[in-house]
Structure 1
Amino acid sequence: MELLKTQNATMQFGGLTAVNDFNLSIDEGEIVALIGPNGAGKTTAFNMITGVYTPTKGNVIYGGNDITGNRPDIITQKGIARTFQNIRLFKELSVLDNVLIANHLHLKSGLFSAILKLPKYRREERSIREKSLALIERVGLLDVINEKASSLPYGKQRRLEIARALATNPKLLLLDEPAAGMNPKETEELTEFIRVIRDEFNLTIFMIEHHMQVVMGISDRIYVLDYGVTIAKGTPYEIQNNQRVIEAYLGVSEDA
């Protein structure tokens, strides 16, 4: 069943067209990758889907509903979460506090209940803490639960950022270059981690990634952008053997 679709999504900045007529379709449970050279428009496509930008033209359809132009917080509440190329954690807060903050999205108590710490608010706080502890354990960070985010190795910081996104209870998780800056061992562990969370959390995953080992090893399908235009889409095998993709990455034909 189709979960996410973009219809001719276009983003222009003045006279520059960053993404042009982007048509994407992702089914529930898939892992789909978006690749392309630097400056191809990949993060702009993410930003249109998550409400950071409103497309100049076209639509974003999620779960059969048009979410074009919705605010990022509304889109998150609807079930779309994302991470960023540059890790955005509360670096001076603990692992637990980072996840607790994300879980507060689901608080139903108002400001009045929170200030007076009424029974309903205290019950919600206990529930959120229990959920946060369970999530931290499931992503393998229980041993560093009280450590500051800034003190974690890079791979665990990335895992924490993903855990924080998972705390919003998404159906669709967007990962922006999750393997950026990782060594080979961390990259291998991350690849397996993405597979595990897709299955355990019943997720659909859409990711931008430059690390071809990750892309080819984990993706069901791949879209390729170049100068804001989709030049190819298909399975990993089809993309590996696509002449236009080879030329976009290498700048020369395969024969040359």
Structure 2
Amino acid sequence: MSVLKADNIVMQFGGVTAVNDLNIEVEKGKIVALIGPNGAGKTTAFNVITGVYQPTKGSVYFNGEKITGLSPDKITNKGIARTFQNIRLFKNLTVLDNILIANHLHVKSNFLSYTTRMPWSRKEEKSMRSKSEMLLEKLGLLSLKNEIAHSLPYGEQRKLEIARALATDAKLLLLDEPAAGMNPSETMQLSGFIHTIRDEFELTIFMIEHHMDLVMEISDKIYVLDFGQLIAQGTADEVKNNKRVIEAYLGVEEDA
């Protein structure tokens, strides 16, 4: 079953075509990677999927429903969450507060009931705090709940950003270069972490990543972009042995 489908997406900025006739399908429960050289159009594709950009042409579908034209917050409400290459936390707030803020997406009480401390709003707030702490516990971050976000090691900040995305009750998680800035040990831990959250939360994961060891290890399917054009797709073995991909991105093969 296809969770995400990008159908003939074209994204132009003036006379520049950043993405040209892009077709992608991400099946439920899979880990799928989008790779390619810098400037290939990967982040533009993510921005189209999440409603930051409206495509010049084409449509995006989530669980069979057309989401093209929806605002980013409405797309998040549908069950799509995203992280960014540059970590975007509320860095001066605690770990727990970062999760609580994400949980407010599903709050039913209004501002007045919160400020007047109405019984139902207090009950909802207590439930939200409990849910946030349970999420942190599942992800091994509960012991850090009172730590200020910017004081965490880089790898833990990345985990917190992913945790915050999960707090929106996402079913499709878009990861934009999750291993950026990580050392080899942190990258290895991230690989296990991505598998764990996929299984624990029954997620489908679509990621952009330049770290090829990570991509080849965890991806069920890989799409390759070059100058906005899809040049290859397939399993890790199929992609790494594709001559066009080698020439455009992975490097020219050496003579045996």
Relative to the length of structure 2, the TM-score reads 0.98
- Paired residues in the alignment total 256
Please show how residues 33-72 of structure 1 align to structure 2 within 5 Å: 33-72=33-72
C-alpha deviation, 1:254, in angstroms: 5.9
2: distance between equivalents of 1:194 and 1:253? 30
**Secondary structure at the counterpart of residue 238 of structure 1:** helix
Residues 246 and 254, structure 1, Cα contact 8 Å, conserved in 2 = no
More deviation, 242-251/81-90: 242-251
Does 2:236 match 1:240? no
2: distance between equivalents of 1:97 and 1:223? 36
Residues 220 and 235, structure 2, Cα contact 8 Å, conserved in 1 = yes
Q: Which runs of 5 or more structure 2 residues have no equivalent in the other structure?
A: none
Aligned to 1:189: 189
Residues 240 and 250, structure 2, Cα contact 8 Å, conserved in 1 = no
Aligned to 2:223: 223
Whichever residue aligns with residue 206 of structure 1, its letter is F
Whichever residue aligns with residue 157 of structure 2, its letter is Q
**Secondary structure at the counterpart of residue 12 of structure 2:** strand
Judged with a 3 Å threshold, the aligned counterparts in structure 2 of structure 1 residues 31 and 111 are, in CA distance, closer, same or farther, namely: same
Q: Percent identical across equivalent pairs?
A: 69
More deviation, 189-198/109-118: 109-118
C-alpha deviation, 1:145, in angstroms: 1.1
C-alpha deviation, 1:14, in angstroms: 0.4
Deviations 1:44-81 (A, max 9, x none): 00000000101010000111110001100000000000
Q: Where has structure 1 moved over 2 Å in runs of 4 or more? A: 250-256
2: distance between equivalents of 1:111 and 1:127? 17
Residues 223 and 230, structure 2, Cα contact 8 Å, conserved in 1 = yes
Aligned to 2:113: 113
1: distance between equivalents of 2:135 and 2:112? 28
C-alpha deviation, 1:111, in angstroms: 2.0
**Secondary structure at the counterpart of residue 246 of structure 1:** helix
Aligned to 1:101: 101
Q: Which runs of 5 or more structure 1 residues have no equivalent in the other structure?
A: none
Deviations 1:82-105 (A, max 9, x none): 000000000000000000000010
More deviation, 140-149/82-91: 140-149
C-alpha deviation, 1:143, in angstroms: 1.8
RMSD of the alignment, in Å?
1.2
Whichever residue aligns with residue 109 of structure 1, its letter is S
Judged with a 3 Å threshold, the aligned counterparts in structure 2 of structure 1 residues 4 and 15 are, in CA distance, closer, same or farther, namely: same
**Secondary structure at the counterpart of residue 19 of structure 1:** strand
2: distance between equivalents of 1:184 and 1:250? 19
1: distance between equivalents of 2:12 and 2:128? 41
Aligned to 1:169: 169
2: distance between equivalents of 1:12 and 1:111? 40
Relative to the length of structure 1, the TM-score reads 0.98
2: distance between equivalents of 1:173 and 1:103? 16
